[in-house]
Amino acid sequence: MKMKLIGLALLTVALALTAAPNAAGFAQYAGQNVITPMHLVELNYQTDGDLAMVKETIIFRNIGEANYTDGLRTVVSEDSEIMHVLKMGHEMNVTPEQVEYERDGEILRWGEDGGVTIEPGAMVMYAVTYTTPIRVEGTVTKSGEFVKKFAYPAVVNYPIGSLRLKVRTDARVKFTDENGNVIKPDRVDPEDDGGVLYSWTESVTFRELHIKLSQPSNTDKLIGYAVVAILIICALTYPILHVRVAKLREKQGGAKISCARCSVCDDGGRSGGENGGKSSCEGADKRERAGDWDEMDEIIVEVTQSKEALTREKNAILSVLNKLEEDYKKGEVADDDYKRLTSKYEKKAIEIMKQMDRL
């Protein structure tokens, strides 16, 4: 069902892209009778393995005036293992049909000798699934590369109207062309399954897409733990600092700060009114203001000493410890760093639990 939905979505986009008779940007292929209005590449790769799973869904369109019967081709990496080639239907109730293919090095071909017939203006859609090794280099920061070739001289040269690349990986991703120039997609859309969809919505002019995959270094991961811890601390201490600063400025005669839980501020005069534009708290008598700051003191006690706040802080620290444990089991954190960080956060968690016991 998912495959059919993807196929229908691609076909819809392809129909929109084929309003013009030819794909732009490929003047050298202006005489071609077949173009690719849409090409989708799905790449699944995890840095702890050495194989990537690739699925390509390709739409071919005949822009000539006669039936096209010369077969179809695509380029795959020479050391890849083909799983299957499927002809995709245009309707929801059409089951994909397995297609026989031939392999000649990097060239994968099917439908020759009349096996494929595309009428003028018509489109067909095929899906090619294969695995390919990702050669990893480096020991500290591992990196690999997947190369997708869209053109092969005199054999594969279909102009591409639009390219979609969906990547599911735990690695960093960078794109370059066959000359090493950095390529930036027109759109980047995170998806619900954890993948990211990169789109080149204009005509594709590069012949090769090099997808560089690099694993974050241990230093980056350690910085990440520190950032998480800092954010937790900031989130938990902000209410306390806000109330204390407000009280300090009040004592020093500075600008008054209205507080969301201030009973005096909740009374009339928020816009100045009779107080001539001053803070609404400033117009209250001393008895009311004393009551106001008594209320602020209660808030400070509530934020700093309540079991709820301490429980939130404890849970946040335990989340950091769990993440650290997961990365350590994957071999992504060094032994010394793991022991040091674990000890640090465990001590903090113990301190919090002792505070909770005293309440």
pLDDT score for 284: 45
Is residue 134 domain-shared with residue 174, that is, in the same domain? Answer: yes
Q: Residue 168 in contact with residue 207, Cβ under 8 Å?
A: no
pLDDT score for 227: 55
Domain end marker among 155, 189, 214: 214
Is residue 238 domain-shared with residue 89, that is, in the same domain? Answer: no
- Rounded-to-integer distance, Cα 297 and Cα 291, Å: 10
CA dihedral in degrees (329, 335, 336, 338; nearest 10)? 10
Chain centre distance of CA 171: 11
Is residue 247 domain-shared with residue 272, that is, in the same domain? Answer: yes
Is residue 125 domain-shared with residue 31, that is, in the same domain? Answer: yes
pLDDT score for 251: 59
Is residue 229 domain-shared with residue 329, that is, in the same domain? Answer: yes
Q: Starting from the edge strand earliest in sequence, which strands make up the sheet with 208-214, in order?
A: 143-149, 208-214, 172-176
Is residue 118 domain-shared with residue 36, that is, in the same domain? Answer: yes
Is residue 208 domain-shared with residue 289, that is, in the same domain? Answer: no
Is residue 164 domain-shared with residue 242, that is, in the same domain? Answer: no
For residue 206, what are the contacts with CB-CB under 8 A and spacing of at least 6?
A: 150, 177, 178, 183
CB atoms within 10 A of CB 148: 20
pLDDT score for 351: 79
Is residue 110 domain-shared with residue 46, that is, in the same domain? Answer: yes
For the chain, give the secondary structure using H, E and C. CHHHHHHHHHHHHHHHHCCCCCCCCCHHHCCCCEEEEEEEEEEEECCCCCEEEEEEEEEEEECCCCCECCCEEEECCCCCEEEEEEEECCCCCCCCEECCEEEECCEEEECCCCCCCECCCCEEEEEEEEEEECCCECCCCCEEEEEEECCECCCECCCECCEEEEEEECCEEEEECCCCCECCCCEEEECCCCCEEEEECCCCCCCEEEEEEECCCHHHHHHHHHHHHHHHHHHHHHHHHHHHHHHHHHHCCCCCCCCCCCCCCCCCCCCCHHHCCCCHHHHCCHHHHHHHHHHHHHHHHHHHHCHHHHHHHHHHHHHHHHHHHHHHHCCCCCHHHHHHHHHHHHHHHHHHHHHHHHC
Which of 331, 81, 333 shows the shortest CA–CA distance to 221? 333
Domain that holds residue 124: 2-214
The Cα angle at residue 46 between residues 41 and 50, in degrees rounded to 5: 95
Domain end marker among 173, 192, 214: 214
Q: Could you list the mean pLDDT of each consecutive 10-residue stretch along the chain, which spans 359 residues?
A: 47 45 39 86 86 95 94 95 91 82 96 89 96 75 84 91 93 93 94 92 91 68 54 52 55 52 44 46 44 44 56 75 77 76 80 74
Return the half-sphere exposure (C-beta side, CA atoms, 13 A cut-off) of residue 309: 17
pLDDT score for 129: 97
Q: Residue 208 in contact with residue 178, Cβ under 8 Å?
A: yes
Is residue 276 domain-shared with residue 332, that is, in the same domain? Answer: yes
Q: Residue 282 in contact with residue 272, Cβ under 8 Å?
A: no
pLDDT score for 252: 59
- Rounded-to-integer distance, Cα 175 and Cα 62, Å: 30
Is residue 32 domain-shared with residue 102, that is, in the same domain? Answer: yes
pLDDT score for 310: 72
pLDDT score for 228: 56
In total, how many domains does the chain have? 2
Domain end marker among 153, 181, 214: 214
